[in-house]
Amino acid sequence: MDTFINSIEKFFRQKSVLSNLIAINIVVFLVLKIIGVFCTLFHSSPDYFYSLLELPSDIERLFFRIWTLLTYMFVHFDFWHILFNLLWLYWFGKIFLLFFSSRQMGGIYVLGGLVGGILFVLSYNFFPLFISISHSSFLIGASASVMAIVFAAAFYKKDFEIGLLFLGNIKIIYVALISLIIDLLSVTSLNAGGHIAHIGGAITGILFAECIKNGTDITSWINKLIDLFVNLFKKKPDQMRVKYKRFESDYEYNAKKNTSNEEIDRILDKIKKSGYGSLSAEEKKKLFDAGNK
């Protein structure tokens, strides 16, 4: 038990993007639960406080609460809802980070949530089945964001396998596709809004993976906006310059590494043939730098 608790403490002490996303969801869940308890004690309803964070499908209401496009993806009211969402976020977030950066994870979480939320609003104002209830429907939960992370990893490394209880090893792409099929077949269920948002998140993840393969990161603009927002609350020294670092893709990293290795091999061959003294100053520097890596 102590080992389990220590592992949890160690995970949150890392203050990584993954641990921060999980922590934010947990804190928001607990705060909303506490608000609910106090409202009940005073014979009051917490619905007003909740409505400030839920994403409404009613366009007029959304216009006056546009921030809910962001806040809804951190809101859960039910314990099992948040438990399963955060377990998926943790498991597939770990896999995502094998191929991408923490910065990209934060971007795809937000972007997947935005696309899922927008698809929910559009669907509830377009399909006749939902129009009659669009004025009273709301969306909450991190599911769309989590689905974006799942599908980004699955479509980037389709052959990657995970171990499932009773099923053994199975390719992650099959897990993603099965979940998508379930969502497609459930768009007329009682939780239609949630399944529609899942589809939006899945589309975002697929688009991210395919664009990354072509050298384009569709989360870069989201991350710049996040940086801009975060910097508003940071105390910065005068004339501090904020620089955005572009993270390399696997292809770019491997290409650079191979080029560097070929250059070092060439320099070593030159030493064998003509001795160390035949090296230029630049070649000596490259050899020195390689030895210190």
- Whole-structure pTM value: 0.77
- pLDDT tens, the chain, 293 aa long: 667 777 788 888 877 899 999 999 999 999 999 999 999 999 999 999 999 999 999 999 999 999 999 999 999 999 999 999 999 999 999 999 999 999 999 999 999 999 999 999 999 999 999 999 999 999 999 999 999 999 999 999 999 988 877 778 899 999 999 999 999 999 999 999 999 999 999 999 999 999 999 999 999 998 898 888 878 777 655 545 555 555 555 555 555 555 666 777 777 777 767 766 676 777 767 766 765 55
**Domain 2-231 in CATH: superfamily?**
Rhomboid-like (1.20.1540.10)
Write a three-state SS string for the chain. Answer: CHHHHHHHHHHHHCCCHHHHHHHHHHHHHHHHHHHHHHHHHCCCCCHHHHHCCCEECCHHHHHHCCCHHHHHHHCCCCHHHHHHHHHHHHHHHHHHHHHCCHHHHHHHHHHHHHHHHHHHHHHHCCCHHHHCCHHHCEECCCHHHHHHHHHHHHHHCCCCEEEECCCEEEEHHHHHHHHHHHHHHCCCCCCHHHHHHHHHHHHHHHHHHHHHHCCCCCCHHHHHHHHHHHHCCCCCCCCCCCCCCCCCCHHHHHHHHHHHHHHHHHHHHHHHHHCHHHCCHHHHHHHHHHHCC
